[in-house]
Structure 1
Amino acid sequence: MFIQLKTGFDIDRGPSWIGWVDFNRSFRTAKYRGRELRRWPGMFDANFFDVDTDERFWLSGPKRDQSGSSHLGL
């Protein structure tokens, strides 16, 4: 999955990673590199935030069937 940090950066200029993300059963919480990311609708440029640091992240194409993001070929 593609993950991009949005906090402190202009649109699409933050650092990004491709990595494995684990979701909980309700699909509202994600775990990535020891971070707990929670889904938060209504944010302008992000769809998850870190519950400890309040940093905002964009996770591309998370799908409940865990098929990932097809446009990245993952």
Structure 2
Amino acid sequence: MTKTRIMYVENKSESLNGEARIGRVTLSKTGKSLTYQGRNFQSLKGNGFRANYYDIETGEEFWISGPRKDGQDRLYGGNIPPVEIDADIADEYWSKIRGK
């Protein structure tokens, strides 16, 4: 059985506050790699600056983590640009994670 989880995914390749989404990722058995929207990510194993994963094809760096109950998911704070929530998980995100 494939393990999936709702996660916060922020592109860090351009700036400290990049494009960010909350969506369902598919985890590898070890958790060191994951897939989201057809993109494959590999862990930086603690060697990243402002990022913890990178896109295997493009090399772009990302911050990927579990979403926070208070919605303050950005690594460096703020909400600009706004965080998008994938439509297929929106109800589950708002009820189970945000408690609303």
TM-score by length of 1: 0.79
Q: In percent, how many aligned pairs have the same letter?
A: 29
Residue 23 in structure 1 maps to residue 23 in structure 2: no
User: 2:14 maps to which residue?
Assistant: 8
RMSD: 1.4
TM-score by length of 2: 0.60
Residue 49 in structure 1 maps to residue 54 in structure 2: yes
In the TM superposition, residue 56 of structure 1 has moved relative to its aligned partner by: 0.3
- Distance in 1 (CA, whole Å) between partners of 2:51 and 2:68 is 19
CA deviation map 1:21-48 (0-9, x unaligned): 0110011110000100000122110000
Aligned length: 65
- Distance in 2 (CA, whole Å) between partners of 1:21 and 1:56 is 16
User: 1:58 maps to which residue?
Assistant: 63
Bigger-Rg structure (1/2):
2
The ranges of structure 1 where at least 4 consecutive aligned residues each deviate by more than 3 angstroms after the TM superposition are none
Unaligned runs of 5+ in 2: 1-6, 72-96
